[in-house]
Amino acid sequence: MSESGQTWRRVLEAHPAEARLVRRWVGSRLEHPDAPQVANELFVSVLASGSPVIDMTLSTAGQRARITAAGAVELKLHHSHGPGFHIVSGLSSLSGLNTDGQGLWAQLTLKDET
């Protein structure tokens, strides 16, 4: 299995209307049925922190995809472990809080193309 992959990055204004763009952007790059929903929940959690911008990153490697949403403000407990994060945890194979406490990530397993 090849571990090569791609990375995409998009910096978005922290505004609720951008959530639709996040879902479309992720859905056009990752062939996983839950990827747009996971990205949406990550975006909304960071949006609630009050950060002025949200940095979204998608990375693939082999059969794994990682979605990250990060802001410039440390997330409070209810943003990093609230209802949205429970949805993310249920739909992803791994998930967590960034080491700086300003973002969240989720890892999805992509279907085998063989």
pTM recorded for the entire structure: 0.90
Residues 65-95: pLDDT tens digits? 999 999 999 988 877 777 888 899 999 999 9
Q: Give the pairing type, strands 103-109 and 64-70.
A: antiparallel
- Sign for the pseudo-dihedral over CA of 55, 109, 99, 77: positive
Delineate the domains of the chain, giving CATH numbers in brackets: 7-109 (3.30.565.10)
Of 31 and 80, which is predicted with more confidence?
31
Model pLDDT for residues 32-63, shown as the tens digit of each residue = 999 999 999 999 999 999 999 999 999 999 89
Of 82 and 8, the structure prediction assigns the larger pLDDT to: 8
Mean of the per-residue pLDDT values for the chain? Answer: 91
Q: Residue 106 burial (CB < 10 Å; 0-12/13-18/19+)?
A: buried
pLDDT band at 112 (very low <50, low <70, confident <90, very high): low
